[in-house]
Amino acid sequence: MNRSLVTLADHSREKIEYLIRMAQEFEQHPNRLLLQGRVVATLFFEPSTRTRLSFETAANRLGARVIGFADPKVTSGTKGETLKDTILMVSNYVDIIVMRHYLEGAARYASEIAPVPIINAGDGANQHPSQTMLDLYTIYQTQGTLENLQIYLVGDLKYGRTVHSLLMAMRHFNPTFHFIAPDELAMPETYKTYCRQYNIRYEEHQDFDADVISGADILYMTRVQKERFSDLMEYERVKDRYLLKLDMLSHAKDTMRILHPLPRVNEIEYAIDDDPHAYYFQQARNGLFVRQALICDALGISLEQVKNDKTIIL
C-alpha cells in the first residue's frame, strides 16, 4: 500500500476527521518517542520557513532523526543528478521523505517511484496538502465545525496552491466560497469546474471592503506569489491590490477568524495582529501537531497506537 500524501483530494471525509483527531492527540502531548529509530528526510527544492521547520520539529519531538537539505544548490542536482535518482538514493537512507518542489506533479512522480512514503510539502502552484490539513484543523478549532461555512479566499487565487488544496478538501463539508482576486489572479477555470462537479457554491467579487467580508466565517488571505510570475511588471501591477486593514473588520462577525498560510508580505496590516479576529500565528503553530499526525499516518501508525502510546514526555 502506498501511504504517500500527494493531495488531500484523495482523502475521504472520514480520513480528514481521523487526522484531525490524531492531531488533537499531539496538541495535548507533542513530545513522545513514537518515532524513535526512524529517519525522516526533508528535501526542499524551494524556499520554506514554516513547512520545513514544522515538519522537522514534528519529527524531532517524536524522537526521529532528520536529514535533508533546505537549498538544492548544495546537492548533486547541480552536477546534473535527476529527481528520480535523488529520490531513489535518499530512499536508501530514510523511512519517509517530505519534499517541496517547484514542478507541479513532482510529488506525484516521486510517490510512484519511491519505495518509502512521500509527503508533498508543496509542488509548484499545484497542491500543498499538509498546509490544507492544518488549515482544516484550524478552521475546526475556531468554528467548532467544518460544515456549512462561508469561506472567503483573497489575493492570488491563480498561483496560490494553498487555496487550491483547501477548495478541494472542503468538498465534503458543504462550504460556500467567495473568491476575491484581481482578474489577473482569478481562480483558474479548472478549480471552478471542480466546484461545479462537486456542487460547491462559489461567488466571485472584485471589491474588497467591510461590507463584502461581513458574512465571512473564515477570511483566508494569501500572498501574491512573485516567484510564479514570468512577467514581473504584471506582478508589480497586482501585488498590493488587496490589503486587509483594521477598519475593514468593523462589520465582521465576532467568530470570524483571519487565516493566512504565511509568509505575509503586504496583505494584512500589522495593526490587525492584536485584533481577536487574527489567527494566523496560531494557525502556523497548529502545523506542528498536524504534521506529527501526517508523518505517523504515512508510517502506518494508527490513532489507536497514538492514544495508547506510553512514551509521552511531560
Long-range CB contact pairs, 1-4, < 8 A, 24+ = 2/111, 2/117, 3/117, 3/297, 3/298, 3/299, 3/300, 4/107, 4/110, 4/111, 4/114, 4/117, 4/118, 4/119, 4/120, 4/298
Size of interface with ligand CP, in residues (CB under 6 A): 9
- Residue 262, interface with ligand CP (CB under 6 A)? yes
Q: Return d(Cα 55, Cα 45) in angstroms, integer.
A: 15
- Residue 132, interface with ligand CP (CB under 6 A)? no
Smaller CB separation from ligand CP, 11 or 50: 50
Of positions 67, 148, 243, 263, contacts ligand CP by CB under 6 A: 263
- Residue 282, interface with ligand CP (CB under 6 A)? no
Known catalytic membership, residue 257: no
Of 11, 38, 128, 239, catalytic = 128
Known catalytic membership, residue 100: yes
Site for ligand CP in 111-130 (CB under 6 A): 122
Known catalytic membership, residue 38: no
Residues 6 or more apart whose Cβ sits within 8 Å of residue 18: 303
Smaller CB separation from ligand CP, 129 or 261: 261
Of 7, 42, 51, 222, catalytic = 51
- Residue 258, interface with ligand CP (CB under 6 A)? no
Whole-number CA gyration radius for the chain: 19
Does residue 157 contact residue 181 with C-beta atoms inside 8 Å? yes
Q: Least distance (Å) from ligand CP to the CB of residue 268?
A: 14
- Residue 131, interface with ligand CP (CB under 6 A)? yes
Site for ligand CP in 49-68 (CB under 6 A): 49-51
Q: How far is Cα of residue 58 from the mean position of the Cα atoms in its chain?
A: 15
Cell representation of residue 298: 504515512
Does residue 34 contact residue 301 with C-beta atoms inside 8 Å? yes
Smaller CB separation from ligand CP, 85 or 227: 227
Looking up cell 535518482 gives: 85
Site residues for ligand CP per CB under 6 A = 48-51, 122, 131, 261-263
Q: Which residues are catalytic?
A: 50-51, 79, 100, 128
